[in-house]
Amino acid sequence: MPTQLETLRTFTTVVADTGDFDVMRKHQPTDATTNPSLILKAVHDKSNKYLLDRIINDYRNAPLSETASQLLVAFGHEILQIIPGRVSTEVDARLSFDTQASIERARQIIAMYEKVGIERERVLIKLASTWEGIQAAKVLQAEGIRCNMTLMFSLAQAVASAQAKAQLISPFVGRIYDWYKKDAGDAWNEQERSGANDPGVQSVVSIFNYYKAYDIDTEIMGASFRNIGQIRALAGCDLLTISPDLLDELAASDQPLTRQLDAAHAKENAPAWIAANEVVFRTELNQDAMATEKLAEGIRKFAADAVALDEIITKTRAQ
């Protein structure tokens, strides 16, 4: 009997949501995605100290932002020696509301990858799904720099990203689930809000159905999972980025797994077309308390992790 992980690969591209090289070697994902939190965790791993030391030695006198980007690229380069597909590397979350600065940082990261022999087609630049981040993606995509829109919590963000022709979006299943569970408090019923009734799952399904109904090329990658049930409920999504513990759980189970999302079904039940412009985007996002709060929270957390990474670089330089 095939494992659930093996079955999932037949209709969904499996992506490793980690900076752990050993996990990638073990599970052999097609792609890998990182974020500031994962890179910060990886830097603290003693087995990766050689990367930090090498970058500090080579770029001791470079601006701090450049050295941090070089460290991200160093991890991405190592990952791409293991996986056959693409790696996602994130633009500093502190630039989430600055379109031009995000564009310039993305160009810098791509240039760094190309300098070490990595084609830009193997890199996805992660940008926060703010209006400014999405406009940065529009410019970058036109230049052949592929973008992954992260911190996505709403259909409004997904529609605007599609209009910008972003390569890929990463709707955050688990963080949506977290918000609704916290908001419900004692009234939350885990059994009733699991599987297809999970609010995070429902958000991705709505985006999937919209994209497929209108033949939108932007790829959908479900992210930020809290349990294996969320993954099972999204089997058939273009891609799913999965943490090491959940990859292990999928690999250990041989229970049947069936496709849940289907493009043909989406076309037969096409949702209403949605306008995509700045006024609609900001209005719809403002009306969605969950999306507004989780987007802001996510940017704050990733920005704090970027600060922590800067502090590690500064401390190591001083040694």
Task: List the catalytic residues.
Answer: 126
Give me the DSSP letters along 264-299.
HHHHHTPPPP---SHHHHHHHHHH-HHHHHHHHHHH
Burial of residue 165 (CB within 10 Å: 0-12, 13-18, 19+) is middle
The C-alpha angle with vertex 16 and arms to 13 and 20, in degrees rounded to 5, equals 160
Report yes or no: 238 and 219 within 8 Å, Cβ to Cβ.
yes
Q: CB count, 10 Å around CB of 75?
A: 23
* DSSP three-state, residue 63: coil
Question: CA 213 to CA 271: how far, in whole Å?
Answer: 7
Can you list the pairs that 179-184 forms with residues at least 24 positions away whose Cβ atoms lie under 8 Å?
A: 179/290, 179/293, 179/294, 180/290, 183/290
**Nearest C-alpha neighbor of 7 from the set 241, 235, 242, 249:** 235
Q: Which residue has the tokens 């097609």?
A: 30
- Name residues whose C-beta falls within 8 Å of residue 313's C-beta, 6 or more positions apart in sequence: 52, 56, 64, 67, 68, 71
DSSP state of 233: H
* DSSP three-state, residue 146: coil
Token pair belonging to 176: 């949506």
Question: CA 319 to CA 307: how far, in whole Å?
Answer: 19
